[in-house]
Chains A and B, each alone.
Chain A
Amino acid sequence: MDKTAGGRVRVVVGSNSVPDLDRLIHERMRLGIVSALAANESLTFNELKKLLKTTDGNLSVHARKLEEANYIGCAKSFEGRMPKTEYRLTEAGRKALEKYLNHMEALIHAMREL
């Protein structure tokens, strides 16, 4: 198995069975956030951090990108005096993940038929 740094996939140009990759959720950390939220109604910032084994800074950068794309929604509240950030997947985010999954499946099928 040969792995390119960052797990990036090179899309074969001219392969018309495969639509364009959604770069936004293709990135590992963002794909992780979307996948984790697909399996839960909502997750707090700290739960996501623990699940994806990442740092505060890294998670907030990628979460903001997904938020800007309206793939995830974010609600800030207070639990006692502690601020609590809760994320959930939007309909657009769920669709994007589904599309991405189909895309990956299509890639695998396309390769098998070669």
Chain B
Amino acid sequence: MASVQPIRAAHPETVSLQSHAMDNLKFIRETMESAASFTAVPGWGGFAMGVSALAASVIAAFQSSRETWLGIWLVEGVFAIALGALAMTRKANRAQVPLMSAPARKFVLSFAPPLLVGALLTLVLYRAGLTGAIPGTWLLLYGTGVVTGGAFSVRVVPVMGLCFMFIGAVALFCPLSWGNGFLAVGFGGLHLVFGTIIARRYGG
């Protein structure tokens, strides 16, 4: 902590008292942060994201043009991220954590970069006419975000991320026409399964 020190040397006893107080505050903050990020990932939010992804995959499967197919999944992506953010905020508010900003910031900082990369690559792949490679890329990068963002969370969260990465990797080496199916299994299925586990074990 940056602080301006008085020029006059403080009494040694008061210095140690102050450092103890700071030490205590630091301990409380760290405990709250690790406890909060421990269970901050919303289970029911994940479940809802899974339901919306399954719905999107059904609608997207009936699209004849690549553009509308991509459009539907992009809308679903934005919707699902909003859903997840809302669920996370509600779970944090329910716990009434005034010091919530630090773990939330940590999560966003590690979760957002892979998503941004995904958005950029989507544009690049689309312009190169490689729409078929988009599902695998999305799953892979979303999984990366979940693994890094959930590194300090309960173990089930990074495990979910690894499953996403695995499905994404498989999708990249399978026939391009299976892409929609992989998205349904990943964003739909994995979210449903892990969302339920997290919600039942870690309070919502």
Contact = CB atoms under 8 A, between A and B. Distances in A.
Interface in A27-59: 28, 31-32, 35-43, 47, 51-52
Nearest to B92: A39
Contact of B32 (A4, A39, A52, A108): A39
Interface residues of A, number: 35
Contacts of A3: 20, 23
Helix, strand, loop or mixed for chain A's interface? helix
A39 B177 CA distance: 46
A40 B38 contact: yes
B7 interface: no
B13 A32 contact: no
B14 A12 contact: yes
Contact of A104 (B3, B15, B21): B21
Contacts of B96: 38, 94
Contact of A39 (B12, B14, B21, B99): B99
A107 B32 contact: no
B32 A112 contact: no
Contacts of B71: none
B129 interface: no
Interface string B1-37: 0010010001111111111111111011001111110
14 contacts: A2-B12, A4-B16, A12-B14, A32-B31, A35-B35, A39-B33, A40-B35, A40-B39, A43-B39, A47-B39, A104-B21, A104-B24, A111-B14, A114-B10
**9 nearest A-B pairs in the assembled complex, by CB-CB distance:** A36-B35, A111-B18, A35-B31, A39-B36, A107-B21, A39-B35, A39-B32, A9-B20, A104-B21
Given A42-B203, A111-B18, A114-B14, 19 more contacts: A1-B23, A2-B16, A3-B20, A7-B23, A7-B24, A9-B21, A9-B24, A35-B28, A35-B32, A37-B35, A38-B97, A39-B31, A39-B32, A40-B203, A41-B94, A41-B203, A41-B204, A107-B21, A111-B14
